[in-house]
Structure 1
């Protein structure tokens, strides 16, 4: 972590001196006041300079990216990460030679990684973030698969006049099913069960 110790007549002067040396702004640093200084008599006799230690704050998103890479490294997969931030939503797009290992069966491994990064990021930040961890476009392909599945099982429910239960899914995948079928007047959908076994049920209207 890059840091400098600087002094000045006041704490503010010392901080400004440090910012100039680091070539950065106040919102990008952490400030530790070592000595608040002393003005002295008439501002001259017995005066002591203020001393501060200023270090560049590590970006929380960069920390999350490092954490993500440490997880995948423990799984034996070296990756490249492309990070996109849109307000409070952060997407980490992974790429690499063994990417299928990180996706896992029906995205279960990828979902677990996403959950861990979500916990890490929000535990380390005052702001709440929505985290999406994707791997070479898997999420988009998964949405297409879920959409087709929703229509197929809705048709089955109408045809058989029976409820159809889907496999357990994370909340955002259940949302895809609900959203896909929300305008189908022939059926209704609801979620049933407790995490991690919560699943969507499709039933005839």
Structure 2
């Protein structure tokens, strides 16, 4: 079956239809690869589709129907059984190579983004247990990298995480830090959680925080998890999802 490439699946299909000189309803389309847009244009992969004229499929089906009844059974017997997928896949050299390339590339991306906001930087990456990655950026302009309420550093962290999710074999969790910003932010979130809890208790009404990234919402939830007076939950859709701190019903 011929295959055709394109920047998108639809583009690949159109290229195939043009090549075969057939209308869309005269072919069966099989998507071989969905393709990737890449990250900043790097790592882009084309979409690949296979087109089969329906007339060819009809002929093939008719030929199979005319075959002796024993032929399908023999065909099935000839097919080797698919091996069961292990619960935990063993890391192969290819997997390790994919991880190594992804980790090196994401570091280049982070440095390129830092330069893009006029805050050139250097970095160090530490890999802890369970594939937790901490990237420490050093720059003479930390304020530019952090941004207002951490918007810049959080955006960079999100983009880096998305790249790793798409290109690394292992599941990595990325934490990006500039100076001691994350440590200071953790203290701010703890105080914010306490203050919001007091507000909810005093008013008897739920109190809503400003939208924040998932990893910061988790810190709010964790800080108030053992409270006897309030409960927390998240509402809204990303990237505007926020934490609600509500008073627990009083026991009568």
TM-score w.r.t. length of structure 2: 0.58
SS in 1 for 2:106: helix
Residue number among 75, 95, 100 corresponding to 2:117 in the alignment: 75
Cα shift at 1:59 = 3.8
Aligned length: 153
SS in 1 for 2:171: coil
Name 1:44's counterpart in structure 2: none
SS in 2 for 1:132: strand
- Aligned: 1:123 with 2:158: no
Cα shift at 1:60 = 2.8
* Counterpart Cα distance in 1 of 2:100 and 2:196: 48
1:1-205 superposed matches below 5 A:
27=93, 59-87=101-129, 88-205=131-248
* Counterpart Cα distance in 1 of 2:192 and 2:108: 36
* Higher fraction of strand: 1
* Higher fraction of helix: 2
Runs of 4+ in 1 over 4 A off after TM superposition: none
- Deviations 1:116-158 (CA, angstroms, capped at 9, x unpaired): 1111122221111101111101111101000011011101111
* Counterpart Cα distance in 2 of 1:126 and 1:166: 36
* Counterpart Cα distance in 2 of 1:115 and 1:200: 19
RMSD: 1.9
- Deviations 1:71-106 (CA, angstroms, capped at 9, x unpaired): 111111110101101131111101111111110111
Which structure exhibits the higher relative contact order, with contacts defined as CA atoms closer than 8 Å and separated by 6 or more residues?
1
Cα shift at 1:27 = 4.8
Give the unaligned 5+ runs of structure 2.
Answer: 1-91
- Deviations 1:178-204 (CA, angstroms, capped at 9, x unpaired): 111111111111101111111001111
